[in-house]
Chains A and B, each alone.
Chain A
Amino acid sequence: MAFVQNLPFICILLSLFTGPLSSILSGKMTKKLNLVMITAVGIMSAMVLAFTVKSGEAYTYMMGHFPAPWGNEIRVGVLEALLATVFSVIMLLCIVGGSKEREEELESTKQNLYYIMANLLFCSLLALIYTNDIFTAYVFVEINTISACGLIMIRQNGRTIEASMRYMIMSLLGSGLLLLGICFLYDLTGHLLMSNIKEQVQILAATGEYQIPLLVCITLMTVGLAIKSALYPFHTWLPDAYGYSTMSSSAILSSLVSKGYIILLIKIYYRVIGIDVIRASKITNVLFVFGLVGMVMGSVNAIKENNIRRMIAYSSVAQIGYIYMGLGLGSEIGVIASVFHILSHAASKALLFVAASGITRASGKNKDFASLTGAGFRNRLAGIAFTIGSLSMVGFPTFAGFISKFWFAQAAFENANHTKTMLALIVLIISTVLNALYFMKTVIRIYTPAPALAKEKNYQNITVRGQAPKSFAMICFVAMNFMLGMCSDPIMKLIQSGLEMFG
Chain B
Amino acid sequence: MGIWILLPIILPIVTGMYLLISSFLKHLKSTESELKTADGSLKPVVLLTLIVSVAAAFYASWTGDKSITLFYLMKDIPICFKVDAVAALFVTVVSIVWLLVGFYAFPYMSHEGEEKRYFGFYLVVYGVLMGLNFSGNLVTLYLFYELMTVTSMPMVLHNGSREAIMAALKYLFYSMCGAYMALFGIFVLNKYCDTLAFVAGGSLNTVLAQGNETIILIAVMAMLIGFGVKAGMLPLHAWLPAAHPVAPAPASAVLSSIIVKGGVLAIVRVVYYVVGADVIRGTWVQYAWLILSLLTVFMGSMLAYREPVFKKRLAYSTVSQVSYILFGLAVLTPAGITGALLHVVFHAFIKCTLFLTAGIFIFQCGKSRVDELEGIGKCMPKTLWCYTFAALALIGIPPASGFISKWYLAQGAFDSQIGILGWGGIVVLLLSALLTAGYLLPITMKGFFTEKKTEELEFEKGEPPMAMLMPLMILAFLAMILGVLPSGMIDYAAQIAATIL
On A, residues with C-beta under 8 Å from B are 377, 380, 394-398, 403, 405-406, 409-410, 413, 418, 421-422, 425-426, 428-429, 432-433, 436-437, 440-441, 444, 448-449, 461, 485-486, 488-489
Contact = CB atoms under 8 A, between A and B. Distances in A.
B188 interface: yes
Interface stretch (B169-177, B198-206, B264-272, B362-370): B169-177
A166 B476 CA distance: 70
Nearest to B178: A433
Contacts of A428: 184
Max count, chain A CB within 10 A of own CB: residue among B72, B74, B188: B74
Interface stretch (B119-127, B138-146, B348-356): B138-146
B73 interface: yes
Given A397-B146, A410-B191, 11 more contacts: A397-B143, A403-B74, A410-B187, A428-B184, A433-B176, A436-B173, A440-B173, A448-B160, A449-B160, A486-B73, A488-B74
Contact of A444 (B27, B142, B169, B191): B169
Nearest to B172: A440
Contacts of B184: 409, 425-426, 428-429
B452 interface: no
| Interface range for B | 20 to 34
B483 to A, nearest CB: 40
Contact of B176 (A397, A398, A436): A436
Contacts of B190: 406, 409-410
A372 B165 CA distance: 16
A422 B215 contact: yes
Contacts of A396: 143, 146
- What 7 A-B pairs are tightest by C-beta distance, nearest first? A409-B187, A397-B143, A429-B184, A436-B176, A432-B180, A413-B191, A433-B180
A489 B75 CA distance: 6
B325 interface: no
A486 B169 contact: no
B143 A398 contact: yes
Contacts of B73: 397-398, 485-486, 488
A455 B69 CA distance: 49
A200 to B, nearest CB: 39
21 contacts: A377-B27, A377-B28, A394-B176, A397-B142, A397-B143, A398-B143, A403-B74, A409-B187, A410-B187, A410-B191, A413-B188, A426-B184, A428-B184, A432-B180, A436-B173, A440-B176, A441-B169, A444-B165, A444-B169, A444-B172, A489-B72
Nearest to A428: B184
A421 B176 CA distance: 23
B71 A448 contact: no
Interface in B207-257: 215
Contacts of B143: 396-398
B183 interface: yes
Contact of B187 (A377, A425, A437): A425
Contacts of A418: 215
Nearest to B160: A449
Nearest to B71: A486
Interface string B127-152: 00000000000010011001000000
B455 to A, nearest CB: 44
Nearest to B77: A406
A377 B28 CA distance: 9
A433 B187 contact: no
Given A433-B176, A444-B172, A406 B146 contact: no
Contacts of A488: 73-74
B160 to A, nearest CB: 7
A410 B76 CA distance: 14
Contacts of B146: 396-397
Contacts of B165: 444, 448
Contacts of A394: 176
Contacts of B168: 444
Interface in B1-43: 24, 27-28
A433 B27 CA distance: 34
Contact of B74 (A409, A437, A489): A489
B181 interface: yes
Contacts of B160: 448-449
Contacts of A433: 176-177, 180
Contacts of B74: 403, 406, 488-489
A498 to B, nearest CB: 18
A485 B74 CA distance: 9
A410 B139 CA distance: 15
A422 B165 CA distance: 36
A76 to B, nearest CB: 27
Nearest to A413: B191
A429 B180 contact: yes
A403 B28 CA distance: 37
A420 to B, nearest CB: 13
B332 to A, nearest CB: 27
Given A398-B73, A486-B71, A489-B75, A425 B176 contact: no
Contacts of B215: 418, 421-422
Nearest to A378: B28
Contacts of A489: 72, 74-75
B24 to A, nearest CB: 8
A422 B28 CA distance: 50
B163 to A, nearest CB: 13
Contacts of B24: 377, 380
A396 B190 CA distance: 17
Nearest to A430: B180
A137 to B, nearest CB: 34
A394 B160 CA distance: 26
A450 to B, nearest CB: 10
A397 B24 CA distance: 27
A451 to B, nearest CB: 9
Contacts of B183: 395, 405, 429, 432
Contacts of B71: 486
Contacts of B139: 397
Contacts of B172: 440, 444
Given A397-B73, A488-B74, A429 B173 contact: no
B282 to A, nearest CB: 24
A413 B186 CA distance: 13
Nearest to A421: B215
A432 B180 CA distance: 7
A405 to B, nearest CB: 8
Contacts of B27: 377
Contacts of A441: 169
Contacts of B173: 436-437, 440
A406 B349 CA distance: 39
A416 to B, nearest CB: 12
A396 B179 CA distance: 10
A363 B4 CA distance: 46
Contacts of A380: 24
A406 B72 contact: no
A372 to B, nearest CB: 15
Contacts of A461: 28
Nearest to B181: A429
B187 A406 contact: yes
Contacts of A422: 215
B77 to A, nearest CB: 8
A488 B77 CA distance: 12
Contacts of B28: 377, 461
A394 B190 CA distance: 20
A422 B172 CA distance: 27
Contacts of B177: 433, 436
Interface string B324-342: 0000000000000000000
B89 to A, nearest CB: 25
Nearest to B185: A429
